[in-house]
Homo-oligomer: A and B are copies of this chain.
Amino acid sequence: MLTAKFLRGRRRHQLSDEEKNALEAAIERVERLPARRTTQRRGERVRQSTLLLSGYMCRYMDARDGFRQLVCYHVPGDFLDLHGYPLQRLDHDVATITEAEVAYVSHDRITQLVERFPHLGRLLWFATLLDAAMHREWIFSVGRLDALGRIAHFFSETRERMKAVDLLDDQGWFDLPLTQQDLGEACGLTSVHVNRTLRRLRDNGMIEIAGRRARILNVDALARIGEFIPDYLYLEDEFRTP
């Protein structure tokens, strides 16, 4: 099931098998994208939505001075431009970070799905609002936390999101193929400062980084530093009746 990761952590229990199959069947094609490639530009008309199957992607906005700010990054299972369905065009660019595998669903198909299964429509709506909730949390992080807090928040959130799509191994390791530059663009910091901040977190035994993987050694302490309260990911709702 290409949509399995998407449905994890997104109230899948609320869907009937018929709805799940209809969603899966809406996928039109799968494609492999190279790393570091901008796939959509701000302002472009969007006629299909992209489900990320493997790899990391991001959405960003350019500043006049040549720097850019990530507004969201995406892990497998994210429907990264589903908001383009109601919005019809995007207000930001979309790019791969690593090589990525994606699946496309045309907007026409989504319209059919939503009209036939209003309930599934509400789940898709919910999925786009998860992104909005993450945006809010980022505003908080970038607006109110210092460098240590922002990076701690980033790691806490990423671990939680990877766990939700079953991409944590039994030692707690997860892929983190971002450069320190990328991290800086996400957190509103320079790569130099990211470097120093990461070292502090490593020296304090908070995190471990090796190759392009990372793990958090003290989940609670890191969450405290990053003021990370995971309710905004709406994960526990998985276990609640509708």
Contacts and interface: CB of A to CB of B under 8 A. Distances in A.
Interface stretch (A27-35, A124-132, A160-168, A202-210): A124-132
A83 interface: yes
Copies in the complex: 2
Interface stretch (A1-9, A140-148, A173-181, A211-219): A140-148
Interface string A115-153: 100100110011011011101111110111100000000
A69 B118 contact: no
A122 to B, nearest CB: 6
Interface residues of A, number: 46
Contacts of A43: 231
Secondary structure type dominating chain A contacts: helix
A142 B145 contact: no
Contact of A125 (B128, B138, B227): B128
B136 A188 contact: no
B126 A71 contact: no
Interface of A: 42-43, 59, 61, 63-64, 67-69, 71-72, 83, 86-88, 91-92, 114-115, 118, 121-122, 125-126, 128-129, 131-133, 135-140, 142-145, 187-188, 227, 231-232, 234, 237
Given A87-B126, A128-B132, 11 more contacts: A71-B140, A83-B129, A87-B133, A87-B234, A91-B234, A114-B121, A118-B118, A125-B128, A142-B142, A142-B143, A143-B188
